[in-house]
């Protein structure tokens, strides 16, 4: 059985063999999780070897490129096409870039190619309240108009997860909520799901454990009580 957990594959600093590190974690966990999230730390460590990691994640439902894109539509489109070629199927993009010649370009393309667009509504770190969270209503409006598949709302903000879920229900919008911030950043495993999120992103709590599979099974046990 697969659980609504997405493992963030951020390698520890100074890992001598980042490729082996990533492949081992995927091997140990892929029967239990819905997907993986890969960001700049692993992309920069691996370069072209990244495709070997993506071969291993091929059967996972969500293979997320977390480059937090925030560019003009044409350039994001070029980036996303390259990411799709190597095996990603989901792309995290900032919603503050806006729709026109921004999100609308990639939204149209992803709909045609069955890729998934995930925008950022609120981040898990405290600084998110300085600019991003103040514009939550606008960002949600842009996200819904872009017909995004999902959005990121930090697990550290259960009230915003609840608000997002309430609004999407009211508007009859099928928008998935993906929540990072579990474990090292303070939120408890299962707490975001309880607040209304669809998936929890968990990184270091699992990947820094000497026995990632056992740690994941421990976390899954906590989910049963949710």
- Residue 217: what are its φ and ψ, rounded to 5°? -65, -35
- Applying the rule CB under 6 A, the residues between 133 and 192 that interact with ligand BMP are 152, 154, 180-185
Using rule CB under 6 A, residue 35 touches ligand BMP: no
What residues have CB less than 8 Å from 46, skipping those under 6 apart?
18, 19, 22, 52, 53
Residues in binding contact with ligand BMP, number by CB under 6 A: 19
Place of tokens 């990121």: 152
Q: Is 68 a catalytic residue?
A: yes
What residues have CB less than 8 Å from 147, skipping those under 6 apart?
107, 111, 117
- Lookup: tokens for 109: 């393309």
Using rule CB under 6 A, residue 202 touches ligand BMP: yes
According to CB under 6 A, which one of 10, 76, 88, 197 is a site residue for ligand BMP?
10
Q: Which of 24, 30, 37, 68 is catalytic?
A: 68
- Point out which span in 55-63, 157-165, 200-208, 216-224 binds ligand BMP (CB under 6 A): 200-208
C-beta of 201: minimal distance to ligand BMP in Å? 5
Q: Indicate the residue among 12 and 101 with the shorter CB distance to ligand BMP.
A: 12
User: Catalytic residue numbers?
Assistant: 68
């Amino acid at each position: 059985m697969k659980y609504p957990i997405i493992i963030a594959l951020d390698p520890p600093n100074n890992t001598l063999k980042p490729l082996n590190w990533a492949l081992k974690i995927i091997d140990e966990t892929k029967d239990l999780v819905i997907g993986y999230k890969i960001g700049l730390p692993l992309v920069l460590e691996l370069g072209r070897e990244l495709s070997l990691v993506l071969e291993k994640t091929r059967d996972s439902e969500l293979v997320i490129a977390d480059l937090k894109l925030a560019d003009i539509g044409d350039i994001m489109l070029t980036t996303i096409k390259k990411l799709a070629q190597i095996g990603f199927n989901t792309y995290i993009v900032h919603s503050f870039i806006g729709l026109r010649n921004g999100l609308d370009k990639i939204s149209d393309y992803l709909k045609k190619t069955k890729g998934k667009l995930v925008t950022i509504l609120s981040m898990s770190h405290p600084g998110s309240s300085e600019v991003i969270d103040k514009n939550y209503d606008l960002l949600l409006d842009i996200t819904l108009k872009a017909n995004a598949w999902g959005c990121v709302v930090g697990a550290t903000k259960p009230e915003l997860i609840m608000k997002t879920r309430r609004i999407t229900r009211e508007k009859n919008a099928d928008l998935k909520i993906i929540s990072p911030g579990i474990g090292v950043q303070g939120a408890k495993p299962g707490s975001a799901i309880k607040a209304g999120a669809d998936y929890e992103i968990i990184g270091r709590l699992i990947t820094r454990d000497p026995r990632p599979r056992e740690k994941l099974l421990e976390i899954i046990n906590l989910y049963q009580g949710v």
